[in-house]
Structure 1
C-alpha cells in the first residue's frame, strides 16, 4: 500500500527518524504494566515500538487513509484501531475503565485541547507522554516568573509533574514543520484534591492569564466585581505569572469566601 499523504488541515507531520520514535515510545515505561492509548498514529512509526511492550495498545486515528494503512500493515492491532476524533471520545469506555498511559506524536493544531481533555480524565491517566510543539512544551513546563508560564502551566502542574525530556528538530519530519518540537512526560502527582472550588480555580486562572499584562486587581474584576474590598490586598498588585499553583489555590479560596459574603441583589 502506498504511503499516507500528510494532511495540513489535520496538522499531520509524520516522524521519519526511528531512533527518535523509539525514544518517544520508551517514555511510557515510567508507568509500566498498564494499557497504552496512542493518539494520531499516522503510519505507525511510534506504534511499532509500543506494540512489543507486552501490554494492551489501542490507537485512535481520525484520518481514513491512515486507518486503512494501519489495518493493512499492523495486523497485531486488529480490533484496537479506533477511527474517531479523540476530542469527542468518552475515555472511560476504553480498557474497561482501567487507567492507561496516553501518548502520541500529537497533531500540533489540537495539542492544547488534548491536554485539557487529559485533565478531565486525570483519574484515568496517571501518565501522559509524547511530542508537541516546543513552544507548547515550554509553556507546560514553565514555572512562575517565566514569560511562558500560563494557563496550561498552572492547570497541568496542579495535578501532574512535568518533565521536558528533549528537543526534536524540523528535518526529521515529513513535511518539516516550521517550528521545533519537544517530547514531554507528565506524571500524576500525589494531589487528590486541590482544597478549593476546582471550577472557580479554573475560572480564575483563565480569567487572569487572559489579561496577563494587568495586575490581579484589574484582571479579576469579571469575577469579583469592580472595586471589591478584597482587591485592596497587596496580593492583587501582582500579575498572574507571579503566582504559583499554591498561590492560585489560596487566591481561589479567598475569592470564594468573598463571593459567599457578598450579598446578592435580592438580599441588598
Structure 2
C-alpha cells in the first residue's frame, strides 16, 4: 500500500460515484488525448484507462504512488510520467484535455500552468477546495471575485459543476471540495500583454475597497483617470473591462 503525504496536499478520492461523475463530465468535450494530474491511488485512473480510443497519460511526482500505480494498474506503465506537473512540458502534440483531483496546495499553480498551455488545452475538469473553485468561477459583483477569477476567465469559460463532501476522501479534508470545468472562451479577449493584465488586476484587488482611481492611479495618466469607470471598485469590473483597460495603461 501507499502512504499519504500531507506535504504534497494529498487527499485521495475514494467515493466511486464521484469518480464516475468526474469521468462522465469529460464526455461533454471529448478529446483524443488526455492527461491526468496527480493520480495518487488511482481512483480516477482505473476509469480513465478504460476509455476507448484515447491516448492517456498521467503525471505523478510521488515515488510511492508511482510504484503503487505500476503494480496495481499494469496498463499505466508506459503512460505514467514520474515528474511534477509544474515542471513538465506539454505531454502531447496538438490539443488535449486535463483532468484530476488536483493537490490542494498547488491547485492555483496548476491553473496558471494550464493558462500557459491554453493553445493546446481544449478542456479541464478538476477538483479543488470549494472556496478556490468558487473564486475561479466567480463573476464580477461577487464578493469572492478576485485576481484568480479575472486571470483565469480572460482565457477560459469556467463552470462550477458540483460539490464534493469531505467524506468522499481519505483522509477527509477539513473543507468541502468542488469540481470545475474550464474550456477556452467562446469569445476570446484581447489584452495588451499578459504582464500588463497581471499588474493591473493584482494592483486593483490589492486595495479592493478603494475606487480604481485610487487603487491603480500609478498605472494610468491623469487624463485616463478622469473616466467615470475609475469611480468603481475592482470587483465591479467585468473580465472584459479589465482586458480593455490594459490597452489604456501607461
Aligned with 2:32 (options 27, 31, 34):
34
Give a deviation string over 1:180-231, Cα, whole Å, max 9, x none: 0001101112345515333312221122112212221122134337xx3322
Other-structure match for 2:56:
57
Moved more, 22-31 or 136-145: 22-31
SS state of the match for residue 253, structure 1? helix
Whether 2:250 is the aligned partner of 1:250: answer no
SS state of the match for residue 143, structure 2? coil
Aligned with 1:238 (options 232, 243, 246):
232
Other-structure match for 2:208:
212
Whether 2:92 is the aligned partner of 1:122: answer no
Whether 2:71 is the aligned partner of 1:72: answer yes
Call closer, same or farther: CA 1:229–1:33 in 2, change over 3 Å: closer
- 1: distance between equivalents of 2:31 and 2:37? 19
Other-structure match for 1:159:
155
CA RMSD of aligned residues (A): 1.5
Other-structure match for 1:84:
83
- 2: distance between equivalents of 1:68 and 1:210? 44
Would the aligned equivalents of 1:159 and 1:191 in 2 still touch at CA under 8 Å?
no
Q: Which runs of 5+ in 2 are unaligned?
A: none
Query: TM-score scaled by structure 1?
Result: 0.88
| Correspondence list, 1:10-25, <5 A | 10-25=8-23
Query: TM-score scaled by structure 2?
Result: 0.95
- 1: distance between equivalents of 2:125 and 2:23? 9
Q: Which runs of 5+ in 1 are unaligned?
A: 260-268
| Correspondence list, 1:61-210, <5 A | 61-91=60-90, 94-95=91-92, 97-192=93-188, 194-210=190-206
Moved more, 152-161 or 234-243: 152-161
Query: Number of aligned pairs?
Result: 249
